[in-house]
Structure 1
């Protein structure tokens, strides 16, 4: 198997629970082609979007929202959510930089991590529910609107991780530092263009707004990480994935609300 195909295979093994297997050789090839994580985000987003379309068509909104959340974590795993928990522990720890980094790297989950994780899950449910409500007034096919929104959210989540990696500096050695050091600006530009094109094709200008929101979210998380830890690690990258997904859904919902209220006619015309 050539390097590109091995990296592509590893991207799904690294970012999902799809049993394709992960090897050190594959990870080495993936870090050389970190832009493939955005491509994996497109594929995973299509799968999540298809699942959302089915549940939204067949089930009540609240049940559909919960099942979509279950499917997201069934498909993508809990590694990034675990990273958010560790990030919460580190960010809420009091004391010196060393104490904050120790809390960030500690395998035990503290109250800060529990709080961050619980709030993120509540926010994800709320954002999906709000989007479901607005989509009904936005289109005759609300299930399709939800599906493409979930697609863009996953693309944005993966691009947010690469944004943090591309513009951050590692605080210790590990897999996270491998990704950070290998995500050069040219590779980042390739991933950015890939994500932008996919978002435009999925939902026009609404998709672009959601995608840009993910990038902005990544820079906010990077700023917080630098203030607390003087750099980033894999947990900070995982945090970007979880938070950006939520922010994209919120921003898309607010954009659709604006259009529904008559303030975004030109925007919708351009979509």
Structure 2
């Protein structure tokens, strides 16, 4: 029991900026239970959702969306978006696989990393603003209901993001030693499906109060698909994956989940334009 509680505490220390303390012993216990990613995703998602609820209730959409983005990165740190930057540098590097891997692992920030991070943050911000607008229409302009929809969406998005990291770890092949390779070695298929079961339950229930139970499930599936696409791209360019690719899947998966929820709400609000 003590080892499990240590693993839980360490999972928050590793995956967030919450000051719970982190030791090598704690990391070892966490890596033995990689499905705890989903527990962390659920707690962080609720915190993000609560902040989003308050921000939407008190501020204009664009300003609240900026603050939500800032809060998400304050809570999760910049490790994952740093992974997106390195991934961008690696993909845009010309030449052999070895040159691409050097760019991927290089501590310097190149134009590929700047471009990927910029597009990622803009997409994240745009998804939040769009979600707020569609939620208001869905809620017949009841800002409290719309803000509650946003809360649920942030929960789904963060759980989906964590499931994306487990997907890369479970099905990827490491290209070098590091924390990413340790996560890969410890994320067995049974552990992956334990995490997936938790994700399915959370994402299915999150929008039930609004009659949209399938919206969260579709968002989760889309995020997982995006993780497999990222893994495929990584395999083609680098011959495998590393921690940066895992972080990339987190950033992309979160935004993809939010976009899918926007589309689900848009459909219920009268249809997506290209479907009319």
Instruction: For 2:25 and 2:238, locate their aligned partners in 1 and report how far apart those are by CA, in whole Å.
Output: 30
Aligned to 1:32: 32
Deviations 1:159-196 (A, max 9, x none): 00000110001000111100011100000000000011
Instruction: For 1:111 and 1:83, locate their aligned partners in 2 and report how far apart those are by CA, in whole Å.
Output: 14
Mark the runs of 5 or more structure 2 residues left unpaired by the alignment: 208-212
Q: 1:219 aligns with which of 228, 232, 247?
A: 228
Deviations 1:79-104 (A, max 9, x none): 00000000000011000010000000
- Please say if 1:243 is aligned against 2:261: no
- Please say if 1:135 is aligned against 2:135: yes
Aligned to 2:88: 88
Task: Return structure 1 stretches of 4+ with deviation > 6 angstroms.
Answer: none
- Please say if 1:9 is aligned against 2:9: yes
- Please say if 1:117 is aligned against 2:126: no
Aligned to 1:169: 173
1:156 deviation in Å?
0.3
Instruction: For 1:58 and 1:209, locate their aligned partners in 2 and report how far apart those are by CA, in whole Å.
Output: 30
Q: 1:195 aligns with which of 194, 199, 207?
A: 199
1:31 deviation in Å?
0.9
Aligned to 1:107: 107
SS in 2 for 1:116: helix
Instruction: For 1:262 and 1:92, locate their aligned partners in 2 and report how far apart those are by CA, in whole Å.
Output: 37
Deviations 1:110-148 (A, max 9, x none): 000000001100111111111111111112311011111
SS in 1 for 2:181: helix
SS in 2 for 1:232: coil
1:213 deviation in Å?
1.0
After superposition, the CA RMSD in angstroms is 1.0
Aligned to 2:266: 257
Deviations 1:58-82 (A, max 9, x none): 1110111000001000000000000
Deviations 1:183-223 (A, max 9, x none): 00000000000011011111111111111111111101101
- Please say if 1:148 is aligned against 2:152: yes
Instruction: For 2:108 and 2:229, locate their aligned partners in 1 and report how far apart those are by CA, in whole Å.
Output: 26
Instruction: For 2:97 and 2:247, locate their aligned partners in 1 and report how far apart those are by CA, in whole Å.
Output: 20
Instruction: For 1:255 and 1:230, locate their aligned partners in 2 and report how far apart those are by CA, in whole Å.
Output: 36
1:262 deviation in Å?
5.3
Mark the runs of 5 or more structure 1 residues left unpaired by the alignment: 264-271
Aligned to 1:42: 42
Aligned to 1:209: 218
- Please say if 1:231 is aligned against 2:240: yes
CA shift in 2, pair 1:262/1:93, >3 Å: closer
TM-score, scaled relative to structure 1 = 0.95
Instruction: For 1:234 and 1:10, locate their aligned partners in 2 and report how far apart those are by CA, in whole Å.
Output: 18
Instruction: For 2:26 and 2:270, locate their aligned partners in 1 and report how far apart those are by CA, in whole Å.
Output: 49
Instruction: For 2:226 and 2:4, locate their aligned partners in 1 and report how far apart those are by CA, in whole Å.
Output: 30
1:2 deviation in Å?
1.7
